[in-house]
Amino acid sequence: MRPLTDDETKTMFEKLSKYIGENIKLLVDRPDGTYCFRLHNDRVYYISERILKLATNIARGKLVSVGTCFGKFTKTIKFRLHITALDFLAPYAKFKVWVKPGQEQSFLYGNHVLKSGLGRITENTNQYQGVVVYSMADVPLGFGVAAKSTQECRRVDPMSIVVFHQADIGEFIRSEDTLT
């Protein structure tokens, strides 16, 4: 487990800023302590510094994971967010999309959000902006990328895709063996 390099940190923070903007600093400097990001086996973990000090007593080869996995770096050095980061991204999300109850199950099966299933969308959402997807009961379901801006969403036909699916809480069941 090692700290991220400058390039890795920049790549990861650029991806996070698509979803939570300047609120990244709120992830690191929290009222309950200082948290940091560490890399282990191409995966980025979000961990409190207190637990990190305890984890240094475990050999690197024996350590499976520690903290919350935020995502992983692909072989082409791109950062891919995991659904395990949703609980930390949702409270700080700048752009949100709420889906109707009938669309929830479709989204949780890995499908994109259609205009017919769109309940609400945050004002001034740009095209290709990172969004957190909520149910109408304000339960975070996952995250994706806005396929259309807020203004375009009002004019498109009901079968148009408005949010591209990236990750959802259904992945815990569909991909439980690969979400270490």
- pLDDT 10s digits, 84-117: 899 999 999 999 999 999 999 999 999 999 999 9
Query: Is the pLDDT at 58 greater than 90, yes or no?
Result: no
**In terms of C-beta distances under 8 Å and separation of at least 24 residues, what long-range contacts does 75-79 make, across chains too?**
77/7, 77/8, 77/11, 78/11, 79/8, 79/11, 79/12, 79/14, 79/15, 79/44
pLDDT value of position 31? 86
The reply to whether 159 and 115 lie within a common domain is yes
The reply to whether 26 and 73 lie within a common domain is yes
Beta strand ranges found along 75-136 (DSSP E):
79-81, 96-99, 113-114, 118-121, 130-135
Confidence band, pLDDT 50/70/90 cuts, at residue 2: confident
The reply to whether 75 and 102 lie within a common domain is no
pLDDT value of position 180? 56
**Residue that is last in its domain, among 84, 112, 147:** 84
pLDDT value of position 25? 85
pLDDT value of position 178? 66
- The domain that holds 156 is classified in CATH as 2.30.130.10
Q: Does 25 fall in a domain?
A: yes
The reply to whether 62 and 130 lie within a common domain is no
pLDDT value of position 22? 87
pLDDT value of position 179? 59
Question: Do the beta carbons of residue 146 and residue 91 sit within 8 Å?
Answer: no
- Rg over CA atoms, the chain: 17
Average pLDDT, the chain: 89
3-class SS at 3? strand
Q: Is pLDDT larger for residue 79 or for residue 1? A: 79
Quote the tokens at residue 24.
């990244």
- Its domain, for residue 159, covers 95-175
pLDDT value of position 60? 79
pLDDT in tens, 121-148: 999 999 999 999 999 999 999 999 999 9
Taking alpha carbons only, the member of 103, 91, 84 closest to residue 168 is 84
pLDDT in tens, 6-41: 999 999 999 999 999 888 888 878 888 888 899 988
Domain count, the chain: 2
Mean pLDDT on 67-80: 92
pTM score, whole prediction = 0.86
Q: Is pLDDT larger for residue 118 or for residue 175? A: 118
Query: Is the pLDDT at 176 greater than 90, yes or no?
Result: no
